[in-house]
Homo-oligomer: A and B are copies of this chain.
Amino acid sequence: MERMIAPQKLKELEIGIFQSLGILPDNANTLADCLTQADLWGISSHGAIRVPIYAKRIKEGLTDISSEPEVIEDHPSSAVINGKNAIGPVAAEKAMHIAVEKAKNTGIACVALGNTNHFGTCGRYSALALEDNMIGFASVNTTPLIAAFGGTRKAIGNNPFSIAIPASRHFPIILDMACGPAQGKIELLQKQGKRVPDGWAVDADGYPTDDPQKALHGVLLPIAGPKGSGLAISVDILCGILSHAGIGAEIGHLNDSRPQNLGAFFAAIDISKFVSVDRFLERVDGYIDYVKGTGREGEKILMPGEISFIEAEKRTKEGIPLPSVLIDELNELAAKSGISTRI
């Protein structure tokens, strides 16, 4: 059972809940915008469903809503920020903005953000670079969720990262990927009665399995074996070690009763320092046309992120489908928070 909720109404409710927790209006708006954007993009796992856990962590003091992220290393094209365990999306947005501003002067710039919290989708931050005609990169490390290649125990995060590239006639390209298979995809295979593809998972005893049930109780393997494993390891080091944050098992899970101490890494490339922006956009558009023309008749080729832009157009008009259980939970949270908005 689900109902369609108007995005603006949902965001209003979320802002209300967050403000009632003592979050400053600007920060409450950033946090709610982060969640609503994920819901609009169709990435429900990073949307309203996160409100209860974010609220819980704030109430328990596991996220420090009063602290201000601080720049602790500052160079012409790089910076390190101590996130000071502040709200994840607020710190991440600040970090990406600094990368963009520095890139305007130098060509490329990056910011490592440590001691921070879950910040939603990586695509949100890489996409911030698009407004300034830049290519954006955002990544974050997570608690161990997948095995390393050659191993069969949870060892490294699925460490997602995103690359955003502007286009003109077409939607921008936004690649946003994790280094392990999506758990949701395996749950879907289970519902459909299908088998798990080779190399996706091992069972609880560490043996390869194509049974979705056993895979979900076992360990997911990195995508493409050594490739996904190598990517996840690289992201862990970029995000965790450059930023003075945790890596591997040092990172706290959202459900753990300790600060997460995640690390994140952001970069921006100022296109105008390489080629005229007009020429760049014209060539990206032409390339997208070219790639889309390489399918067989009737085959539709979608570019990275295109499905989210299409979904966002639809959901902006028709609303965001939310499970009734979640709607009840959010309304209850609103009631307890003493705010009058309901969805």
Chain A residues within 8 Å of B, Cβ to Cβ: 73, 75-80, 103, 105-110, 112, 135, 147-156, 163, 165, 173, 175, 177, 181, 197-199, 206, 223-224, 226-231, 233-234, 236-238, 241-244, 247-249, 267, 269-271, 273-275, 280, 283-284, 287, 290-291, 294-296, 299-304
Contacts and interface: CB of A to CB of B under 8 A. Distances in A.
A242 to B, nearest CB: 4
A177 B78 CA distance: 27
A295 B151 contact: yes
Contact of A76 (B77, B110, B153, B247): B77
Contacts of A199: 197
Contacts of A76: 76-77, 105-107
B238 A294 contact: no
B236 A287 contact: yes
B73 A273 contact: yes
Contacts of A291: 148, 151, 155-156, 233, 248
A228 B299 CA distance: 19
B165 A269 contact: no
A151 B301 contact: yes
Nearest to A290: B248
A297 to B, nearest CB: 11
Given A199-B197, A274-B112, A296-B153, A303 B233 contact: yes
25 contacts: A75-B107, A77-B77, A77-B106, A78-B107, A78-B270, A79-B107, A107-B109, A107-B110, A108-B109, A149-B302, A151-B296, A151-B299, A163-B230, A177-B226, A198-B198, A206-B296, A223-B223, A224-B228, A233-B303, A236-B287, A241-B275, A241-B284, A242-B269, A247-B283, A248-B290
Contacts of A197: 197-199
A237 B150 CA distance: 32
A242 B78 contact: no
Nearest to A75: B107
| Copies of the protein in its oligomer | 2
B237 A173 contact: yes
Contacts of A154: 294
Contact of A294 (B155, B163, B241, B242): B155
A75 B224 contact: no
Contacts of A206: 296
A122 B257 CA distance: 43
Contacts of A284: 237, 241
Contacts of A79: 107
Contacts of A78: 106-108, 269-270, 273-274
Contact of A233 (B77, B149, B270, B304): B304
Nearest to A180: B224
A294 B233 contact: no
Given A148-B301, A152-B296, A223-B227, A234 B173 contact: yes
Contact of A248 (B151, B271, B287): B287
A309 B102 CA distance: 37
Nearest to A267: B108
